[in-house]
Amino acid sequence: MTAVILNVTLVRSTIGHPKDQRATVRSLGLRRMHDRVDLPDTPVVRGMLHKVRHLIHMEESEGAHEAP
């Protein structure tokens, strides 16, 4: 079974943006400019990415995932 993995990169600074957007970026695991994280494609993660879509760049890729 393959699962969709989201590759997320922080491309704009959080300076000057609301505190809740900064907290969302941090909770995604992004700390500095050009940091990149791989996240699972879930509705919760998609909602967080939508909130800060103007600060990030996102790519979808398929990753191998074993069934439990």
CATH fold of 2-63: Ribosomal Protein L30; Chain: A, (3.30.1390)
Cβ–Cβ under 8 Å, residues 11 and 57: yes
**What is the band of 64 on the pLDDT scale with cuts at 50, 70, 90?**
low
pLDDT tens digit sequence for 4-23: 999 999 999 999 999 999 99
The domain limits of the chain are: 2-63
Overall residue count recorded for the chain in this entry: 68
pLDDT tens digit sequence for 25-50: 999 999 999 999 999 999 999 999 99
Once rounded to an integer, what is the mean pLDDT over residues 50-63? 94
